């Protein structure tokens, strides 16, 4: 079954200095873009992360400090990456939990205030886990009947991920061949996540809630009332920049609503007082 695309789909893979979304950096980025007419184009770039690559991480993806010493920083290529992605939807392997949050953090460090709200995200790992419960190498073997060579080479992994997705479309008749369906199907949770890292979400009433820790499930508004310092703790702690941005926007919204209610209450009290004064005047007359 051919994948039905309304606009391009950019499958990407990142090699990084580690797995911490907030503090680790990209050392290689690869993107394979599939156009609606079926043509593919690719983008590959090594990146100087500006911080040391731990030896145990180099042992995994094979990229050392020497390999990226003379490469551009992500800030230097950020606009180039966005231009290549263009209006494409995004996909990857475990991308909803890792690759997308990481690239958003890098864009924010580059002082680029991106808006991915109109994009849809296909996580091929989530499709695979819902169907077969395996790793990328096993998925490639299972769906494509090939061994995955050069694993943890960003371009090879990105290409393998796209090949797996196309093979999944052929294998599962119940998978609809459009990006909106696949993005919804490949979500790792039923929660309406709004910050990529999964720390903030919306409940059934569309209120923003904390989606982790001791206040999980509680609204930002409720926690601001019962534990005002929690907001400040999150801003100071090691949370992703995008999570903090969304949290700040929600708190600003709450503050404006509280101020509006306070003004309305004050106005109503003034009106009630004036009504009583007018009543007294009329009584005296």
pTM of the shown model: 0.68
Whether 159 shows a pLDDT value over 70: the answer reads: yes
Residues 106 and 244 in one domain: no
pLDDT digits (tens, 9 = 90+) for 213-271: 899 999 999 999 899 899 999 999 989 999 999 999 999 999 998 888 888 888 887 77
Residues 198 and 147 in one domain: no
Whether 283 shows a pLDDT value over 70: the answer reads: no
Residues 136 and 51 in one domain: yes
Backbone Cα Rg of the chain: 24
Residues 131 and 219 in one domain: no
Residues 99 and 234 in one domain: no
Whether 276 shows a pLDDT value over 80: the answer reads: no
Q: What is the structure's pLDDT at 66?
A: 96
Q: What is the structure's pLDDT at 152?
A: 78
Asked whether residue 91 is assigned to any structural domain, the reply reads: yes
Considering its fold, how many domains does the chain have in total?
2
Distance CA 117, CA 119 (A): 6
Whether 151 shows a pLDDT value over 80: the answer reads: no
- Helices 241-284 and 100-109 pack at an angle, to 10 degrees, of 70
Residues 246 and 170 in one domain: no
Q: Which residue has the higher pLDDT, 132 or 157?
A: 157
Whether 122 shows a pLDDT value over 70: the answer reads: yes
Asked whether residue 99 is assigned to any structural domain, the reply reads: yes
Domain CATH number, residue 122: 3.30.420.10
Residues 16 and 120 in one domain: yes
Contact call for residues 168 and 128 (beta carbons, < 8 A) = yes
Asked whether residue 4 is assigned to any structural domain, the reply reads: no
pLDDT digits (tens, 9 = 90+) for 91-107: 999 999 899 999 999 99
Range of the domain at 71: 9-188
Distances (CA, A) of 229 to 16, 105, 143, 215, 236: 33, 25, 50, 13, 11
Q: What is the structure's pLDDT at 44?
A: 97
Q: What is the structure's pLDDT at 133?
A: 56
pLDDT category of residue 134 using cuts at 50, 70 and 90:
low
Whether 35 shows a pLDDT value over 70: the answer reads: yes
Residues 206 and 97 in one domain: no
Whether 163 shows a pLDDT value over 90: the answer reads: yes
Asked whether residue 87 is assigned to any structural domain, the reply reads: yes
Asked whether residue 103 is assigned to any structural domain, the reply reads: yes
pLDDT digits (tens, 9 = 90+) for 179-205: 999 988 887 665 688 888 889 999 888
Residues 201 and 173 in one domain: no
Positions of E strands within the chain: 9-16, 26-34, 40-46, 89-92, 121-123, 192-193, 200-202, 208-210
Asked whether residue 156 is assigned to any structural domain, the reply reads: yes
Domain limit, last residue, from 165, 188, 211: 188
């Amino acid at each position: 079954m051919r994948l039905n695309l309304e606009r391009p789909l950019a499958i990407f893979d990142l090699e990084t200095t580690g797995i911490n979304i907030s503090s680790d950096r990209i050392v290689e980025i690869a993107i394979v873009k599939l156009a609606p007419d079926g043509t593919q184009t690719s983008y590959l770039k090594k990146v100087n992360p500006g911080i040391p690559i731990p030896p145990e991480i180099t042992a995994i993806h094979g990229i050392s400090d020497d390999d990226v010493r003379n490469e551009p920083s992500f800030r230097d290529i950020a606009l180039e990456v966005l231009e290549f992605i263009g209006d494409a939807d995004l996909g990857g392997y475990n991308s909803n939990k890792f690759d997308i949050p990481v690239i958003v953090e890098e864009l924010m460090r580059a002082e680029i205030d991106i808006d991915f709200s109109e994009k849809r995200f296909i996580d091929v790992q989530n499709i695979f886990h819902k169907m077969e419960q395996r790793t990328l190498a096993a998925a490639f073997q299972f769906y494509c009947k090939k061994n995955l060579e050069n694993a943890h080479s960003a371009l090879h992994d990105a290409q393998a991920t796209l090949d797996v997705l196309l093979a999944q479309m052929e294998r599962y008749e119940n998978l609809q061949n459009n990006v909106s369906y696949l993005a919804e199907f490949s979500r790792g949770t039923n929660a309406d996540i709004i910050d990529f890292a999964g720390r903030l979400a919306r409940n059934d009433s569309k209120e923003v809630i904390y989606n982790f820790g001791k206040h999980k499930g509680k609204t930002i508004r409720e926690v601001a009332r019962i534990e005002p310092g929690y907001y400040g703790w999150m801003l100071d702690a090691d949370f992703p920049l995008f999570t903090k941005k969304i949290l700040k926007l929600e708190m600003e919204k709450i503050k404006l609503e509280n101020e509006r209610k306070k003004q309305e209450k004050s106005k109503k009290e003034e009106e009630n007082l004036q009504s009583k004064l007018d009543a007294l005047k009329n009584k005296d007359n």
